[in-house]
Structure 1
Amino acid sequence: MTPRGVLGADELNNIAVFKAVSPSVVNITALGLERDFFSLNVQQVPQGTGTGFVWDTQGHVVTNFHVIQGASGARVTLADQSSYKAELVGAFPDRDIAVLKIPAPVAKFKPVTVGTSRDLQVGQKVYAIGNPFGLDQTLTTGIVSALNREIESVTHRTIKGAIQTDAAINPGNSGGPLLDSAGRLIGVNTAIYSPSGASAGIGFAIPVDEVNRIVPRLIRDGRMVRPSLGVTGGGPEINRALGLPKGVALVRVQRNGPAAKAGLKAFSRGDGGILAGDVITAVDGEPVETQDDMLTALERLQPGDSCTLSVWRSGATRKLTVTLAESDD
């Protein structure tokens, strides 16, 4: 038998990242209701599994919304195989993020180290850790294949800025952490692109900067409290039909809402044809072309914040400062 030499630096780093982060990774079993055929008693039964990770020492666990979507309950199994019934703290389906909470002792919680996604570069190494079956952790490695991808959430809203990776990500890994080579959280694994549903070399993760913006608000409010302009935008077909520039053509402005108070007007039909309205072309200097773009830009703010809108009307562009209200939805 030939003894092997020392492990390479790359292998040692793989091992170190896994040892450091795997205690933070949990298995999530979504539960559904089933009526017993003989006794007619209703009981909770497993209906699917996924992965999550410990966010803080208060027992908050982050996962994908689609992991627990439609479930009547959930159980969280920690790395030491202890299992707890979870309560749903809050969810933001538009970004496929959910926060659960479990009543485990504080000593059992090892939160992940939160990194940043704004300075990621294509080609840098990444790790995905999952716990698809609640039996043991799995580690896969890869690189950042592309940045600023767009994927569709369960509500058909576009999730922008997604990280594409070739680290193997299977359905049971959904909700698990994507890590950089320092073991810091840089994303939440959320979807794969594959006709068979199995890993086919293309995985996606929600960037951690987006997660770090959403999760504290879910913990605080139980939901994402949306800031609102009080407007409804039309689709691109309106811009094409009326020869308007790219932007959100307003088809409704809520009475006494933030936009109405700032003087914005919707396009409307009059006796002589279409009456001129406003097109929002940018929010705080960030160009917007669709209502989805506008909602994404506004979701970075909170009710009560002010933002600057670039508004086009009849060939002239002006800037308006608007104080956002709280959305009703």
Structure 2
Amino acid sequence: MGQNYTRHLLLTTLAAMVLMLFWQSLPLLEGLIIATQAKPRPITPRGVLSEEERATIELFERCKGSVVYISTAKAVVDPWTRSVYNVPRGTGSGFVWDEAGHIVTNYHVIEGASQARVRLDDGRDYPAVLVGASKRHDLAVLRIDVPVKRPQPVMIGTSGDLKVGQKTFAIGNPFGLDWTLTTGIVSALHRQMREGNGVVIRDLIQTDAAINPGNSGGPLLDSAGRLIGVNTAIFSPSGAYAGIGFAIPVDTVNRIVPQLIAYGRYLEPSLGIDVDDRLDRLAKARLGYDGVMVLRVDPRSAAARAGIRGITLYPDGSFDPGDVLLAVDGEPVEDAESLHALLDKHRIGDTVEVRFARDGRLFTLKLPLEPARS
């Protein structure tokens, strides 16, 4: 009986140990079974891309070769060794204007720089020379010498017929991230913005396509891949992107850039008269009138030949007011800045209708626009 009990106890203990080992190894066995069964899940066929997606991809592939990356440097003189060093200054975007190698970008991208380099989308890198710039329009033209396989110039569109709601595409290099595409719509037209240097840029295109630091100078395109603007700035109380970006309209670009290429500067259309906001404010406070007072008339101008009068000053500090300019082509003139903006819509040689007041009488003339003389 004792032997049977001992054998029974031993068998019971062994059974318990085997059962315990089985339960302990069960997770491992389950893991091995699952591992042998684990496979990548089958891919669900996507089907064809939507028509809008295909159009966006095709636009990007077709247009990105016209967009360039611009890096600038500024020469710094070591006061101890008198050695000159080129210190990196900033980066931006630009686009190919023509087959002669002209590159359009923002003035503020190259402002203060002593040298610039342009990198194409295929990685080729070239030194650039500054051809011309207009601070007032925030535009600049560089030129690179590309001996072979010249990049394709961007297609030029028009901004005069843009409608709020049209799709927009911005290609650039935000934060140095090469050839980034963002999309949006035209969210407003005819905006104006005062830059940090006090320059007011008018008739801007507002878009919600993301424009961030480094996008400046890059193209804003329509759904046909045509240039409709040059990305220039964002509105952001916090300094971060807030969904409002601005672009210089292509109609302005197409008027200014050829002059920068031909003359190195913008030839401002002028009536041949000088006005001054500070003096005008003083005269308005004393005399009370609308428009802007003609301060001086260039004796070589058509305005002088037409008999336009400026202010006559006397030794005792008194003066006779000159003619007061009220409107250009029916649009009211409020101050010197608005006069410049109205004339800026025209080219040198255009004839405009101007309305003046003199001694309470009104008269209208047609005057040709001439290059402003410094």
Give me the TM-score of the superposition, normalised by structure 2: 0.81
The alpha-carbon distance between structure 1 residues 135 and 171, as it changes in their structure 2 partners (threshold 3 A), is closer
Alpha-carbon distance in 2 for matches of 1:180, 1:154: 29
Quick check: 2:176–2:214 contact (8 Å CA) kept in 1? Answer: no
Letter in 1 for 2:323: D
Q: Give the corresponding residue for 2:310.
A: 266
Q: Which structure 1 residue ranges, 5 or more long, are not aligned?
A: none
* Correspondent of 2:272 among 230, 239, 246: 230
Distance in 1 separating the partners of 2:287 and 2:251: 38
The residue that corresponds to 1:66 in the other structure is: 108
Is 1:253 aligned with 2:297? Answer: yes
Structure 2 residue identity aligned to 1:251: L
Unaligned runs of 5+ in 2: 1-42
Cα distance in 2 for partners of 1:171, 1:216 equals 27
Is the 2:172–2:218 contact (alpha carbons within 8 Å) kept by the matching residues of 1? yes
Structure showing greater Rg? 2
Q: Which residue of 1 aligns with 2:46?
A: 4
Between 1 and 2, higher relative CO (CA 8 Å, sep ≥ 6) is seen in 1
CA apart distance, 1:109: 1.7
Give 1:297's aligned residue: 342
Relative distance call for 1:137 and 1:216 in structure 2 (3 A) is: same
**Distance verdict in 2 for CA 1:228–1:37, change over 3 Å:** closer
- Mean Cα displacement is larger for which, 225-234 or 85-94? 225-234
Cα distance in 2 between the residues matched to 1:272 and 1:206: 44
Q: 1:275 aligns with which of 320, 324, 328?
A: 320
Establish whether residue 313 from structure 1 lines up as the match of residue 358 from structure 2. yes
Percent identical across equivalent pairs? 53
**TM-score of the aligned structures, taking structure 1 as reference length:** 0.91
Partner of 2:19: none
Q: Equivalents in 1 of 2:369, 2:175: separation in Å? A: 44
Q: Deviations over 1:191-236 (max 9, x none)?
A: 1111343321110000000000111111111111223333222436
The number of residue pairs the alignment matches comes to 328
Deviation by residue 1:157-204 (Cα, 9 ceiling, x = unmatched): 322110011111011000000011111110000011113433211100
Contact residue 351 and residue 369 of structure 2 kept, 8 A: yes
Give the RMSD, CA atoms, in angstroms: 2.4
Matches for 1:117-128 after TM superposition, within 5 Å: 117-128=159-170
Show the counterpart of 1:208.
250
Per the alignment, in what secondary structure is the counterpart of residue 98 of structure 1? strand
* Pairwise CA distance, 1:135: 5.8
Instruction: Give 1:129-208 correspondences, 5 Å limit.
Output: 129-132=171-174, 136-153=178-195, 155-208=197-250
Moved more, 282-291 or 190-199: 282-291
1:76-99 Cα shifts (integer Å, max 9, x gaps): 001111110000110011000000
Amino acid at match of 1:7: L
1:46-61 aligned within 5 A: 46-61=88-103
Cα distance in 2 for residues equivalent to 1:133 and 1:243: 51
Which protein has the bigger strand share?
1
- For residue 12 of structure 2, what is the aligned residue in structure 1? none
Aligned to 2:73: 31
Normalized per residue, the structure richer in helix is 2
Kindly provide the CA deviation profile for residues 270-302 of structure 1, in whole angstroms up to 9, marking residues without a partner as x: 689653421212223333222112222323444
SS at match of 1:99: strand
Distance 1:299 1:253 in 2: 19
Structure 1 position 137, deviation (Å): 0.6
* Residues 254 and 7 (structure 1), Cα distance of their counterparts in 2 relative to 1, 3 Å cut: same
1:114 counterpart residue number:
156
Over 3 Å counting, the alpha-carbon distance change for 1:269 and 1:34 in structure 2 is: closer
Question: Does the 8 A contact of 1:150 with 1:162 survive in 2?
Answer: yes
Q: Where does 1:239-250 land on structure 2 (aligned, <5 Å)?
A: 239-245=284-290, 247-250=291-294
